[in-house]
Chains A and B, each alone.
Chain A
Amino acid sequence: MDFVQWFVAPLQYEFMVKAILVSALVGFVCSALSCYMILKGWALMGDAVSHAVLPGVVIAYLLNIPLAIGAFVFGVGSVIAIGFVKAKTRIKEDTVIGLVFTGFFAFGLVLVSKVVSTVDLGHILFGNVLGISDADIIQTVVISLITLVTLAVLRKDLILFCFDPTHARSIGLNITFLYYVLLSLLSLTAVAGLQTVGIILVVAMLVTPGATAYLLSDRFDHMMLIAMASGVFSSVFGTYISYYIDGSTGGCIVVLQTLLFVAAMIFAPKHGLLVRAKKQEKFLD
């Protein structure tokens, strides 16, 4: 099969066109946010929040309100719970995070298994972009717009918040506000990511592209562009591949992202393993 054909053939199906566009959008938005997540050291937090939104998603589904609202409440709620337990007990933060998010997630699983059909459970856990409904598309677009506009407007403030919160405070920025902005965006994009790769793999969308880009650049703007490019590339190709092999879309997307990361880890011009090895050799000579 020739290359062009490979691309064009699936586009005769409307569901594929939708799936590719939604995946690309979600890849784009999650990658943009992933830069902040990894610079702030929030990978674990991303994992926690993306799992903790599950009960919110189910409750919203039951109440027939947008899933994003339920996710938002439980995503932010889980972080408040984490902060509370950390402040009131002597337990270390990573333990608290692990404890709280699995608790939320388990509660969500119970809810799902009692109130939602097994088909839907599979969709929430593993994503279902090939069968995405129009309502879900609209929701994804709205979430993406909110996230992108917020990131564009607060870009510099968020960078400063991640880099040097003390200075941010000293010039009078409200860092509590910025903290909750980032947290809210995380909860929202978790819902968007849930549509494509499912709740279990969302954290990859929110971490891997940023990590890949971090190895490839020493400038924030470049890092952002590289992350978004790698995120969109993985999402689009992953969707195609899953169509051809008839396999899990989320799985394909995340495997591609991981492969890109491994490539960056080995070949990155400045921070890659090959360059490091060469430097070492020179040093030994």
Chain B
Amino acid sequence: MYDTSIDLENVTVAYHGKVALHSATLQLKAGTVCGLVGMNGAGKSTLFKALMGFVKPDTGRILINGLPIRQVQKSNWVAYVPQSEEVDWNFPVSVYDVVMMGRYGYMNLLRIPRSPDKVAVRESLERVEMWQLRDRQIGELSGGQKKRTFFARALAQQGTVLLLDEPFAGVDIKTEKMMIDLLIALRQVGHTVLISTHDLASVTTFCDQVVLINRSILAYGDTSEVFTEENLSRTFGGSVGDLSFSKSRLTQTQLNPGSEE
């Protein structure tokens, strides 16, 4: 298929004239899980929004699987889970309804689900262990259950590219483990995952590639080469400098300064 799944060239994004992402150039291999790591305000969410076409870059070019985002959306190739769901939690929809919304791209104008849609929804809900709660109104879920529901919706979209903006924020260890296992399973069938996280300890355990970001792309490539102490201290402006960089230390210490916004 495509060697390069996510391809940015010289992308600059500014909000009201203030540059949030400067001249980002990036090529990520298809069929890999890529971690996106950087401080609060480093531009991670901005990168996702640029990829989805929600913010228009001032310069540069963005391709996903070799195509511009509009065409990618038409082919249902990309699924995106934003950092926080800004939805009305009292809205009269059930967990099942929400996950079914992930299938609209496959349906005709009237959005009547057919059996492949129902199968996809059921499988996604079962994979995140939410099938039992499918009839709940979405406001009646815990924070982690809400996260799992929206994760299931992204799974149900069955895109080849999955963009996840801090999916682990506010979920327990068991759920995080479950999500990671699902991501690894997706990689096995050739899907590409770009995932931002503040959980540095787990990056080495499931990311093939890492992108380090601080208002511009500092480094990207294979985890073993890029995820080094030197690069990390550049990414975090020296603030991890006093944290001796050893694997054992990192697995105990979660560098998670502010996963909630």
The residues of A with any CB-CB pair to B shorter than 8 Å are 39, 41, 153, 155-157, 159-160, 162-164, 166-167, 169-173, 214, 217-220, 222-223
B94 near A: Cβ within 8 Å? yes
Known contacts A159-B93, A219-B94; 14 additional CB pairs below 8 A are: A39-B91, A39-B92, A156-B104, A157-B104, A163-B87, A163-B88, A163-B91, A164-B87, A166-B86, A169-B52, A170-B78, A172-B74, A218-B94, A220-B93
Q: From the candidates B86, B92, B105, name the one contacting A171 in the complex (CB within 8 A).
A: B105
The residues in B between 50 and 65 inclusive whose CB is less than 8 angstroms from any CB of A are: 52, 54
Query: A153 CA to B110 CA in the complex, in Å?
Result: 6
Q: Which 5 A-B pairs have the closest CB atoms?
A: A172-B73, A156-B111, A218-B137, A170-B80, A171-B105
- CA of A169 to CA of B82 in the docked complex: distance in angstroms? 12
Assess whether B80 is in contact with A163, with CB atoms less than 8 Å apart: no
- Chain B: residues with Cβ within 8 Å of the partner, total of 29
Contact (Cβ within 8 A) B111 A164? no
In the bound assembly, the distance between CA atoms of A220 and B78 in angstroms comes to 28
Q: For residue B146, give the distance in angstroms from its CB to the closest CB of chain A.
A: 12
Chain B residues whose CB sits within 8 angstroms of the CB of A220 once the complex forms: 92-93, 97
A217 & B104 in contact (Cβ 8 Å cutoff) = no
- CB neighbours of A155 from chain B (8 A): 110-111
Contacts of B189 in A (CB 8 A): none
CB distance from A258 to the nearest CB of B (A): 22
Assess whether B105 is in contact with A214, with CB atoms less than 8 Å apart.
no
The reply to whether B101 and A219 form a contact with Cβ atoms under 8 Å apart is no
Q: Decide if B173 is an interface residue (CB 8 Å cutoff).
A: no
- Smallest Cβ distance from A275 to chain B, in angstroms? 15
Nearest-CB residue, chain B, relative to A40: B88
Q: Cβ of B82: which chain A residues have Cβ within 8 Å of it?
A: 166
B172 within 8 A of A: no
Contact A160 B101 (CB under 8 A): yes
